Amino acid sequence: MTVESVRPEAPQVLEPLSTPPLAGGGVPGLGHGWKLVRDPLGFLAQLRDHGDVVRLKLGPKTVYAVTTPELTGALALSPDYEIGGPLWESLEGLLGKKGVATANGPRHRRQRRTIQPAFRADFIHEYGSIMEEEARAFAARMVPGETIDCTSESFRVAVRIASRCLLRGQFMDERAERLSIALGDVFRGMYRRMVIPAGPLYRLPLPSHRQFDRALADLHDIVDEIIDERRASGQKPDDLLTALLEAKDDNGAPIDEQEIHDQVVAILTPGSETIASTIMWLLQALTEHPEQADKVSKEVESVTGGRPVGFDDVRRLSHTNNVVVETLRLRPAVWILTRRAVTETDLGGYRIPAGADIVYSPYAIQRDPRSYQQHLDFDPDRWLPERSKDIPKYAMRPFSLGNRKCPSDHFSMAQLSLITATVASRWRFEQVSGSNDAPHVGITLRPHKLLLKAAPR
């Protein structure tokens, strides 16, 4: 034992917390808002040059942006931040106040306990045959030389898989079709209402407003129909809807009708737009990188020996899986996330006041040259174990982490890999005139208008 080691420790001097620096490029009066509207992705991607945590001015309001993988991990894992802020408030107004995606605290924990089993590995295995059917039907709807409107087709397959797997029902095929039309229209109008919350303006009787109102009403009606029909049938299949109908609140009483309704909406909405956007990016990647499409096709052939690829093959399709992961890295459907500070906190040595709104961007984090070599290259092999070990912790979290982590990460990866394997082993793609694969920034990130032509392999 050295003399030093028994010396009483000097009292720790705590560094005072500092205020995060103001990001550059603000305009007097407007702050950074115009940059976020004009080029949100470019703006968010360069914020780390200004600091690990930076302040943004949106009109008179200050918002805090977190820019490093390590601090986004700390944010997502800390109980000092919850879901909240203007983005969520406008979502609640449209989709309902009692669903899992917007709840906090004990209600959120209870709701997660109810829905989580439906996404467990053994359940996902049971969904395998539905995923296979839908992936094959998607590939079979493609006709050589005919234009594929990837937006509506991707939505169709996403909604059909989510609703058929999670809310099984007799008329689910027809309903899944109606749901995909309603959700497509709702998402188009919702982003505008979230970034420009000009309530009375949207009551003007314009065709686009009427289309949005009709779609939103239709969405809520279809959800009511699904619930009523299940109740009337007296059946209790082992699925998410049964779990919701049987759920109890903290006092052991059945949850109310509004909560059941809002929960179904809160699961169907993130479950369709995110998957649809990712399918579009996967089709775009297979088109832009035909050598990767060939590699996927060869891998499928080597695993299946020529029979149609099935759900049980997915775990052996490691390159196909890496194509999906690399697509999620460069084109994360969820490109921005927000939190609200419950209390005053220290984030990376910076003071975040209670009630502050905080944003971070998986898009910016996952494209950062400080985390990825050749950061903009589409390189699925970077996910080979010998290479991926060098990627910093939390630099690749397209499904988030912590208590708000997407419950559907495995369910999503399974269907995305199966769809990629199914279409790439049957078709080659090229973009046709009128197609525009530039990113469209809305509630999710997706191509503006992806139009493809398929040729058989």
Q: Which residues bind ligand HEM (CB under 6 A)?
A: 83, 100-101, 112, 162, 266-267, 270-271, 274-275, 278, 333-334, 337, 398-400, 404, 406-408, 411-412
Distances (CA, A) of 108 to 74, 165, 174, 248, 252: 20, 23, 32, 13, 16
Q: Compute the least distance from the CB of residue 329 to ligand HEM, in Å.
A: 11
Looking at beta carbons only, is 293 or 333 nearer to ligand HEM? Answer: 333
Residues 6+ apart with CB under 8 A from 2: none
Other beta carbons less than 10 A from residue 340's beta carbon? 18
Q: Compute the least distance from the CB of residue 320 to ligand HEM, in Å.
A: 15
Q: Compute the least distance from the CB of residue 339 to ligand HEM, in Å.
A: 7
Report the interhelical angle of 290-304 vs 318-330 (nearest 10°).
150
Task: Specify the DSSP class assigned to residue 116.
Answer: G
Looking at beta carbons only, is 50 or 220 nearer to ligand HEM? Answer: 220
SS3 (DSSP) at 332: coil
Residue 387 phi, psi (nearest 5): -100, -35
106-130 as b/e, with b when 16 or more CB fall inside 10 Å? Answer: ebbebbeebbeebbeeebbeebbeb
Please tell me the number of Cα atoms within 13 Å of 166 on its side-chain side.
30
Match 């295995």 to its residue by tokens.
125
Both structure tokens of 188: 């188009």
Tell me the one-letter amino acid at 285. A
Q: Compute the least distance from the CB of residue 20 to ligand HEM, in Å.
A: 21
Looking at beta carbons only, is 50 or 88 nearer to ligand HEM? Answer: 88
Q: Compute the least distance from the CB of residue 412 to ligand HEM, in Å.
A: 4
Looking at beta carbons only, is 303 or 358 nearer to ligand HEM? Answer: 358
Task: Specify the DSSP class assigned to residue 361.
Answer: -
Both structure tokens of 186: 């709702």
Question: How far apart are the C-alpha atoms of 283 and 67, rounded to whole Å?
Answer: 30
Q: Compute the least distance from the CB of residue 277 to ligand HEM, in Å.
A: 7
Q: Compute the least distance from the CB of residue 271 to ligand HEM, in Å.
A: 3
Residue 64's H or E segment, with its range, is strand 61-66
Looking at beta carbons only, is 212 or 335 nearer to ligand HEM? Answer: 335
Q: Compute the least distance from the CB of residue 121 to ligand HEM, in Å.
A: 15
Q: Compute the least distance from the CB of residue 422 to ligand HEM, in Å.
A: 17
Looking at beta carbons only, is 318 or 338 nearer to ligand HEM? Answer: 338
Report the interhelical angle of 86-95 vs 257-288 (nearest 10°).
110
Residue 23 phi, psi (nearest 5): -65, 150
Looking at beta carbons only, is 83 or 190 nearer to ligand HEM? Answer: 83
Looking at beta carbons only, is 73 or 398 nearer to ligand HEM? Answer: 398
Q: Which long-range contacts (CB under 8 A, 24 or more apart) does 445-449 make?
A: 445/41, 445/277, 445/331, 445/332, 445/333, 445/334, 445/335, 445/363, 446/151, 446/276, 446/277, 446/280, 446/281, 446/333, 447/150, 447/280, 447/281, 447/284, 449/151
Q: Compute the least distance from the CB of residue 108 to ligand HEM, in Å.
A: 6
Q: Compute the least distance from the CB of residue 94 to ligand HEM, in Å.
A: 16
Question: How far apart are the C-alpha atoms of 38 and 41, rounded to whole Å?
Answer: 9
Q: Compute the least distance from the CB of residue 115 to ligand HEM, in Å.
A: 7
Looking at beta carbons only, is 279 or 303 nearer to ligand HEM? Answer: 279
Task: Specify the DSSP class assigned to residue 376.
Answer: T
Looking at beta carbons only, is 100 or 452 nearer to ligand HEM? Answer: 100
Looking at beta carbons only, is 73 or 407 nearer to ligand HEM? Answer: 407
Taking CB positions, which residue lies at the least distance from ligand HEM?
Answer: 271
Looking at beta carbons only, is 166 or 424 nearer to ligand HEM? Answer: 166
